[in-house]
């Protein structure tokens, strides 16, 4: 054992030396270890970013380790390394403290998949259509365009799902969802129409669960596209809208006008500063000052998909069109297919668009960092460095009061730069048949069906707004996809059912070191994946590395964006 330890140390030292040398070409060293085990060190360098992958030898378990250089300026990741210490222990070393780290780890985009399945599919392919996880339900059939059928996982480590079968259906029509619920052909529906709230509440056959408005609906503008390159134009749009009129006329009860991007129930909300009051004349003056005295013509893109934050996209879009006409802005509405719309907005291809966000985990980083942080997508264009700096500081400040001060400043800068106009925090609800027990409306939109009993029936039928785009949720951002994934795959941690507190999932316990930069996760023993393979620490490292490392052969996904990982942790080998 001593000999092995020495060898391990030697391997690490060699890896560090190789990394420090910064070779511009790829170099591979393989060292045979004694005692029947083998340790491999691979040093890969590309695009000026170095990374080291080490498979450390163990007595019976070859633990993987992937790492990056925190000091490399082209490395946008806050993770130093991810290491399988032993079969049931994973260590994650951060570059700087991240107080929201457990809440991020619990997010369903970071579900664990078997290493072998990941490798076999090159990080894409079947992972998207036929996921394998550890969750209470297993995918049985995805009849695309029609329904998604899951069956109970008989080997689930926790309490078995109550129903044998879980069926996901979808319809973008609120009326159809409501009719199906009334007819009893489905047991639960997401987002009843505005006018259906009262009908569901009043019906003895139905029950309504209201969902807190932990979301934001906003009108996004791309600062890289004319005429929004001029901050005054964006400010004019920010002042022109009568947001109260939109909420009063197009949102269900429980909705609120958005004072800022952060919803009030989520940590990071500060009462001040509030958004601009409506000022049509002021908006016209700003436009004139910016060289648009007669306004301009612009395309407004959206997807005709109902969300809690946007229950009526078409009417809201037309109202914004009518309101902006008052300041001389001619808006042409262009409706896009959901997946294409999200991809285009992420890529910064849209000039003005309607989009929103629902809380994935209850922290400011999920809202502010994801949208305005250093690693955010290009939806608002090039971003704002002054906001980046504040958000970096906020994410690494442990004191909550100090964090709130930082977020207040960040919110003020967002108000000044106006990358978007915050419009509404949409209240929403979930309708169920009255005989469904343990019915929930998750504030994070992740209803957990394994604990619901649809009046003793052996199938629970759920109808949501849209079909999942893909079921490898590491590479999805869509709530409809994430909800389906949450039944099949699991993360190291999870959120309590119907709530936002972080609870253990595949990791039974976890603890940080003193300065909050090293997190150790102790994995649950005896867990198996749906394909029968055993769950261990290497599955965690492989699942994370596929998302983290842009050079990984498994960094494939559906479209390869891995938006959540990029926004929450950042990529390594990210020369761009």
- Based on the shown chain and the rule CB under 8 A, indicate whether residue 20 belongs to the binding site for another protein: no
Part of the chain binding another protein (CB under 8 A), chosen from 123-131, 332-340, 372-380, 390-398: 332-340
Q: Which residues contact 60 (CB under 8 A, 6 or more apart)?
A: none
Nearer to another protein by Cβ, of 224 and 248: the residue is: 248
- Based on the shown chain and the rule CB under 8 A, indicate whether residue 349 belongs to the binding site for another protein: no
Nearer to another protein by Cβ, of 248 and 508: the residue is: 248
- Based on the shown chain and the rule CB under 8 A, indicate whether residue 321 belongs to the binding site for another protein: yes
Residue 365 has what DSSP assignment?
A: I
Q: Give how many residues touch another protein by CB under 8 A.
A: 24
Least separation, in Å, of the C-beta of 195 and another protein? 4
Least separation, in Å, of the C-beta of 151 and another protein? 33
Least separation, in Å, of the C-beta of 305 and another protein? 13
Least separation, in Å, of the C-beta of 323 and another protein? 8
Bridge partners for 328 per DSSP: none
Nearer to another protein by Cβ, of 165 and 321: the residue is: 321
Least separation, in Å, of the C-beta of 171 and another protein? 10
Nearer to another protein by Cβ, of 178 and 544: the residue is: 178
Nearer to another protein by Cβ, of 196 and 478: the residue is: 196
Part of the chain binding another protein (CB under 8 A), chosen from 99-107, 329-337, 402-410, 433-441: 329-337
Nearer to another protein by Cβ, of 15 and 342: the residue is: 342
Nearer to another protein by Cβ, of 196 and 559: the residue is: 196
- Based on the shown chain and the rule CB under 8 A, indicate whether residue 185 belongs to the binding site for another protein: no
Reading the block at residue 152, the tokens are 């109970």
Residue 311 Cα to chain centre, angstroms? 20
Least separation, in Å, of the C-beta of 179 and another protein? 8
Bridge partners for 40 per DSSP: 30, 55
For residue 153, what are the CA distances in angstroms to 107, 165, 507, 514?
21, 10, 19, 39
Part of the chain binding another protein (CB under 8 A), chosen from 1-9, 136-144, 192-200, 254-262: 192-200
Q: Which of 59, 175, 340, 347 binds another protein (CB under 8 A)?
A: 175
DSSP SS3 for 130: coil
Nearer to another protein by Cβ, of 150 and 206: the residue is: 206
Part of the chain binding another protein (CB under 8 A), chosen from 137-145, 172-180, 229-237, 365-373: 172-180
Part of the chain binding another protein (CB under 8 A), chosen from 211-219, 261-269, 333-341, 515-523: 333-341
Part of the chain binding another protein (CB under 8 A), chosen from 118-126, 331-339, 461-469, 521-529: 331-339
Helix axes 400-417, 385-395, angle to 10 degrees: 160
Please say whether the beta carbons of 127 and 472 come within 8 A: yes
Spatial separation of the C-alpha atoms in residues 464 and 107, rounded to whole Å: 20
Nearer to another protein by Cβ, of 168 and 178: the residue is: 178
Site for another protein in 195-214 (CB under 8 A): 195-196
Please tell me the number of Cα atoms within 13 Å of 91 on its side-chain side: 14
Please tell me the number of Cα atoms within 13 Å of 121 on its side-chain side: 22
Nearest to 426, CA basis, from 512, 316, 528? 316
Q: Which of 19, 113, 174, 430 binds another protein (CB under 8 A)?
A: 174
**DSSP string for 320-359:** HHHHHHTTTPEEEEEEE-HHHHHHHHHTT--SEEEEEEE-
**DSSP string for 181-250:** HHHTS-SEEES--TTHHHHHHH-TTEEEEEE---EEEEEEE-TTSTTTTSHHHHHHHHHH--HHHHHHHH
Please say whether the beta carbons of 27 and 43 come within 8 A: yes
Q: Which of 119, 173, 205, 511 binds another protein (CB under 8 A)?
A: 173
Helix then strand count (H, E) for the chain reads: 18, 25
Nearest to 266, CA basis, from 214, 191, 323, 311? 214
- Based on the shown chain and the rule CB under 8 A, indicate whether residue 193 belongs to the binding site for another protein: yes
Least separation, in Å, of the C-beta of 342 and another protein? 18
Nearer to another protein by Cβ, of 320 and 355: the residue is: 320
Helix axes 280-289, 231-240, angle to 10 degrees: 160
Q: Which of 9, 59, 322, 434 binds another protein (CB under 8 A)?
A: 322
The H-or-E segment that residue 428 falls in is: strand 428-433
**What is the x/- site pattern for another protein, positions 240-259, by CB under 8 A?**
-----x---xx---------
Site for another protein in 68-87 (CB under 8 A): none
Nearer to another protein by Cβ, of 86 and 304: the residue is: 304
Spatial separation of the C-alpha atoms in residues 320 and 325, rounded to whole Å: 8
Spatial separation of the C-alpha atoms in residues 89 and 540, rounded to whole Å: 10
**What is the x/- site pattern for another protein, positions 280-319, by CB under 8 A?**
------------------------x-------x-xx-xxx
Spatial separation of the C-alpha atoms in residues 55 and 38, rounded to whole Å: 9
Least separation, in Å, of the C-beta of 338 and another protein? 13
Nearer to another protein by Cβ, of 195 and 531: the residue is: 195
Reading the block at residue 30, the tokens are 């393989």
Residue ranges binding another protein (CB under 8 A): 173-175, 178-179, 193, 195-196, 245, 249-250, 304, 312, 314-315, 317-319, 321-322, 332-335
């Amino acid at each position: 054992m001593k000999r092995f330890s020495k060898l391990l140390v030697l391997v690490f030292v060699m890896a560090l030396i190789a990394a420090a040398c910064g070779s511009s070409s790829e170099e591979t060293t393989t060292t045979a270890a004694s005692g029947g085990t083998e340790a491999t060190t691979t040093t890969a360098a590309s695009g000026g970013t170095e990374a080291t992958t080490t498979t450390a030898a163990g007595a019976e378990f070859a633990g993987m380790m992937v790492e990056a250089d925190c000091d490399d300026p082209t490395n946008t990741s806050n993770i130093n390394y991810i290491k399988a210490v032993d079969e049931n222990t994973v260590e994650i070393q951060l570059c700087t403290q991240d107080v929201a780290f457990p809440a991020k780890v619990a997010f369903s985009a970071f579900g664990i998949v078997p290493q072998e399945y990941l490798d076999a599919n090159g990080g894409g392919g079947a992972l998207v259509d036929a996921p394998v996880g550890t969750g209470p339900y297993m995918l049985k059939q995805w009849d695309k365009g029609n329904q998604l059928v899951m069956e109970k996982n008989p080997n689930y480590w926790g309490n078995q799902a109550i129903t044998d079968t879980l069926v996901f259906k979808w319809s973008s029509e609120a009326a159809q969802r409501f009719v199906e619920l009334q007819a009893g052909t489905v047991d639960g529906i997401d987002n009843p129409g505005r006018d259906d709230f009262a009908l569901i509440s009043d019906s003895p056959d139905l029950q309504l669960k209201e969902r807190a408005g932990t979301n934001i609906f906003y009108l996004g503008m791309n600062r890289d596209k004319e005429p929004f390159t001029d901050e005054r134009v964006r400010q004019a749009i920010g002042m022109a809208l009568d947001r109260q009129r939109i909420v009063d006329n197009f949102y269900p009860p429980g909705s609120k006008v958005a004072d800022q991007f952060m919803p009030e129930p989520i940590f990071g909300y500060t009462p001040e500063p509030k958004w601009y009051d409506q000022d049509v004349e002021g908006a016209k003056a700003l436009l004139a000052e910016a060289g648009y005295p007669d306004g301009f013509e612009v395309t407004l893109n959206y997807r005709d998909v109902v969300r809690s934050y946007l229950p009526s996209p078409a009417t809201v879009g037309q109202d914004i069109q009518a309101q902006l006409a008052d300041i001389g802005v001619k808006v042409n509405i262009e409706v896009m297919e959901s997946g294409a719309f999200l991809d285009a907005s992420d890529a910064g291809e849209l000039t003005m668009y309607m989009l929103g966000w629902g809380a994935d985990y209850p922290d400011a980083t999920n809202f502010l960092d994801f949208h305005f942080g250093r690693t955010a997508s290009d939806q608002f264009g090039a971003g704002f460095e002054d906001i980046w700096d504040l958000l970096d500081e906020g994410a690494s400040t442990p004191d909550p009061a100090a964090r709130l001060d930082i977020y207040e400043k960040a919110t003020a800068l967002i108000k000044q730069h106006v990358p978007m106009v915050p419009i509404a925090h949409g209240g929403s609800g979930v309708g169920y048949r009255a005989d469904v027990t343990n019915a929930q409306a998750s504030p994070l939109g992740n209803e957990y069906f394994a604990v619901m009993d649809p009046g003793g029936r052996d199938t629970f039928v759920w109808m949501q707004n849209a079909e999942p785009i893909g079921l490898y949720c590491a590479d999805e951002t869509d709530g409809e996809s994430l909800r389906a994934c949450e039944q099949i795959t699991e993360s190291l941690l999870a959120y309590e059912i119907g709530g936002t507190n972080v609870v253990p999932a595949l990791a039974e316990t976890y603890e940080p070191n003193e300065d909050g930069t090293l997190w150790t996760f102790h994995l649950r023993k005896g867990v198996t994946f749906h394909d029968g393979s055993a769950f261990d620490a290497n599955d965690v490292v492989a699942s994370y590395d596929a998302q983290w490392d842009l050079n990984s052969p498994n960094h494939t996904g559906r479209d390869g964006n891995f938006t959540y990982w990029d926004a929450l942790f950042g990529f390594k080998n990210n020369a761009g």
